Amino acid sequence: MSICVRYLSRSGNTRKIAQAIAEGAGVEAVSITEEKQITEPVDVLFLGGAPYANIMDKELRAYAEALDPKLVGRVVLFTTSNWSRRTVHALRKLLTAKGIRVEEDFFFAHMLKISAREDDARDFGRKYAK
């Protein structure tokens, strides 16, 4: 089972959750600003980001738009925010339209409870690594 964790994080909240998910899954979390695209096939791609003024960051959108459906078995989404799950919903719509399978289940952490959710995020990552 090959697993990747990719994220976009402006202030570090989503990065912390990405790192906890990755730890649970036994892989490294990589920012999409560091590694532009995956080039090898993956069974599970965890992908996450946060909303800004109720829309997802355009860099994250561009990353999702450029994802090669042939390289991705399924995507598992995660987000952090003040209230909105919009990033997850928008990514699901975009990826599904590209023919990429997206898990119904996703991980949400409130921006003020990041540390308190890290154990849950590790469990979430572990669940998909089985």
Ligand X SMILES: Cc1cc2nc3c(=O)[nH]c(=O)nc-3n(C[C@H](O)[C@H](O)[C@H](O)COP(=O)(O)O)c2cc1C
Helix (H, G, I), strand (E, B) or coil at 67: coil
Residue 129 in 3-state DSSP? helix
Question: Which residue, 68 or 119, has its beta carbon nearer to ligand X?
Answer: 119
Nearer to ligand X, 36 or 113 (CB): 113
Looking at the Cβ atoms of 28 and 52, the one nearer to ligand X is 52
Considering only 1, 2, 10, 115, the residue that binds ligand X (CB under 6 A) is 10
- Residues 109-128 as x/- pattern, contact with ligand X by CB under 6 A: --x-----------------
- Sequence-distant (≥ 6) Cβ neighbours of residue 86 within 8 angstroms: 51, 54, 55, 56
Residues of this chain that interact with ligand X (CB under 6 A) are 9-15, 50-54, 80-84, 111
